[in-house]
Amino acid sequence: MEPFIQEDLSLQASFLHGINSPKINIFRMKHPNFAGLSVVTRWLTPLHSSMLRLGKASMKMGLLAPALFEMIAYLLAMYVLSKDFKIPEYIAIIVPFIALNVGGFGFFGFLINATRTNRFADYVTDMYMGHPSRFHPLLNIYLASPGTVFALSILSPLYVIIFKIANKAIKLDKISSLFIGFIPGLLLPPSQHQAYFGFATYFAIFVLLYLFEGKGSFSFPLMAIGFCAGTAFHIPRMLTPTFLSNLFGIESPWAMLYKRGVLFPAVDFWMGMYGTFQVILLCGFFLLRKSERLLFLPSVVCFFIFTFLKLVPFCEYTSVTVFCVFMIISGVVYAAIWYRFSLLPKTLESKGVVAMLAVIMTVITCLSSVIGAQKQWTNLSPSWYDVDETLTTWAMKKTPRNSVFLAPRSDIQAISVIAGRQVFMSSIRSMRHTGVDKEKRESELKEIIANNCTGLEKLVDYIIRGNSVVNDLAKEVLPDSWSEVYSNREYTVYQYKK
């Protein structure tokens, strides 16, 4: 969870009073967590939050206020899409929450332990591996990754529009079609690139199926043109080597289960992650209308593609892509299938049995978030202390905005999260999350330390030593060219004498 929120808060601080201020160049932004690295994605929502904080909003308000309005947009869009599927209103109201909370049977593992001891692990399941293979959306993605919430507020209304156009419920003129395609093409890449590539794949498959069925509508080709036009603004930024090197990779999410000798690793994985959710979708596919299948089929194809094709270094993060292109639509389809199943029996008693079965299976499927939230809610720890705040206050007053620091590599680095200054390298988890070559940076730093810190001044302007934390230079004697410029009970800061 920390890499997501550290990156978001660091970018906010960099826009407010750090490396990317006072003049913000959206075509060339520097990453506060890694000196020399440009920001490609996940910067739009921090920019929004920094605007609120510039207007005297608190850090918490800057995070939660945009997410609140974006979630409202998602909830309303899901409700409208549910109504378009002819789902009764009392079911349509809960559909968005089913999609948010759906999980599998992995939560039964939590019944064994009284408390949750690993705050870094996902609360749905550890899959016997020591790290999660799928992040549950409710807490570990939505509150820690605002870009995903923003992407949902864009995509969920878009699915409603696509479904209505396919059903000929609405008819758009050429300008409106171009504009509706232009918006996601412009806003998705800087907010969440996984959602962007996921929707691009979904929409391409949808248009092909739509044209294959012989349906003619200029709206979808024009939306595709608008989507490409919006994307054109971000192509130069996407062509950076670091981003491209981590963009596509194939990895089986149950590979570790196979190595550990699990008999049916794929089945074990799906049941642990989703339970009966996919089983119901498969069994009830024949109950969908033709237009509903047209909307749903591309998301199923995307589900299988992005289960194996990862767009980030960790295969666990593919759940972001899967949710944006599969779970949104599947939540509605799941509710529609159960409702139509309940209408198949001829007697009221039989209908009641099916309805009760639907309620029980849905509650069991969604129980993971309830148990997980209860386990993790009290598992809190402070991200920084008063000594960190005094250090960052000094840094904001006394150091240039474009200063580069070599700081202790904690998961939350106050010098970047609060002061917005660049650090040479962040924690190992953060570097892997962003796709930075940690071996290259570590070897470069070790080589300099081995040479009596010769050449270190070319990489950083300031060195922060922690008095009680492990530091890269904790046991090294700095040359006389580095002088002490600040100290408190926890940290000592050195600056190179030019």
Place of tokens 């009680």: 468
Residue-wise pLDDT for 139-177, tens only, equals 555 556 788 889 999 999 999 999 999 888 888 889 999
- CA-nearest of 28, 104, 467, 99 to 299 is 99
The verdict on 99 and 210 lying in the same domain is yes
How confident is the model at residue 146, as a pLDDT?
A: 84
In this predicted structure, what is the pLDDT of residue 442?
80
Is the pLDDT at 104 greater than 80? The verdict is: no
Lowest-pLDDT choice from 92-101, 113-122, 461-470:
113-122
**How do 482-487 and 491-496 pair as beta strands?**
antiparallel
- The reply to whether 56 falls in a domain is no
Across 326-337, average pLDDT:
92
Residue 122 has pLDDT above 50, yes or no: no
For range 357-367, the mean pLDDT? 83
Residue 390 sits in the same domain as residue 274: no
Q: Which amino acid is at 96?
A: P
Is the domain of 96 the same as that of 196? yes
Whether residue 49 is contained in a domain is answered as no
pLDDT tens readout for residues 17-31: 899 987 777 778 889
Residues 373 and 479 in one domain: no
Asked if the structure places residue 50 within a domain, the reply is: no
Same domain for 400 and 367: no
At residue 374, the pLDDT reads: 66
Question: Which of 337-341, 349-353, 476-480 has the weakest average pLDDT?
Answer: 476-480
Q: Are 152 and 197 in the same domain?
A: yes
Higher pLDDT, 110 or 282: 282
In a domain, 143, yes or no: yes
| Amino acid making up residue 172 | L
Whether residue 321 is predicted with pLDDT greater than 70 in this model: the reply is: yes
Nearest to 274 by CA among 178, 361, 348: 361
On whether both 109 and 227 belong to a single domain, the answer is: yes
Task: Give the domain extent around 444.
Answer: 2-39+384-496
Residue 456 domain flag: yes
- Give the pLDDT mean for 234-244: 84
Q: Which of 357-366, 373-382, 432-441 shows the highest mean pLDDT?
A: 357-366
What does the angle CA 126 – CA 127 – CA 131 come to, to the nearest 5 degrees?
Answer: 45
Total Cβ atoms within 10 A of residue 377: 11
Q: What is the pLDDT of residue 181?
A: 95
Q: How confident is the model at residue 467 (pLDDT cuts 50, 70, 90)?
A: confident
Cα distance between residue 368 and residue 116, in whole Å: 14
Residue 264 domain-assigned? Answer: yes
One-letter amino acid of 41: T
Residue where one domain finishes, among candidates 347, 377, 407: 377
pLDDT band at 50 (very low <50, low <70, confident <90, very high): very high
Say what angle helices 59-84 and 2-17 make with each other, to 10 degrees. 120
Q: What is the pLDDT of residue 275?
A: 74
Report how many domains make up the chain. Answer: 2
Same domain, 364 and 391: no
| Cα distance between residue 193 and residue 41, in whole Å | 6
Last residue of a domain, one of 377, 392, 417: 377
Shared-domain flag, residues 363 and 390: no
Q: Both 102 and 231 in a single domain?
A: yes
Q: With 50 as the cut, is the pLDDT of residue 126 above it? A: no
The last residue of a domain, from among 345, 377, 409? 377
Least confident among 209-213, 234-238, 312-316 = 312-316
Confidence of residue 376 (pLDDT cuts 50, 70, 90): low
pLDDT value of position 408: 84
Report if residue 253 sits inside a domain.
yes
Cα→Cα distances 208→204, 294, 326, 354, 390, Å: 6, 10, 18, 37, 58
Q: Is the backbone peptide bond immediately before 400 cis, with ω within 30 degrees of 0?
A: no
Whether residue 225 is predicted with pLDDT greater than 80 in this model: the reply is yes
Does residue 481 fall inside a structural domain? yes
Could you tell me which residue, 160 or 318, shows the higher pLDDT?
160
**Highest mean pLDDT (candidates 55-64, 142-151, 219-228, 248-257):** 219-228
Predicted pLDDT at 120: 46
Say if residue 438 is in the same domain as residue 464: yes
Average pLDDT, the chain: 82
Same domain, 292 and 187: yes
CB 15 within 8 A of CB 24: yes
Q: Which of 375, 305, 332 is nearest to 122 (CA)?
A: 375
Is the per-residue pLDDT at 125 higher than 50?
A: no
The tokens of 93 are what?
Answer: 């109201």
CB burial readout 447-473, b (16+ within 10 A) else e: ebeeeebeebbebbbbbbbbeeeebbb
Catalogue the long-range contacts made by 339-346 (C-beta closer than 8 Å, 24 or more residues apart).
339/87, 339/88, 339/91, 340/284, 340/287, 341/284, 341/287
242 pLDDT tier (thresholds 50, 70, 90): confident
- Of residues 392 and 251, more confidence is placed in 392
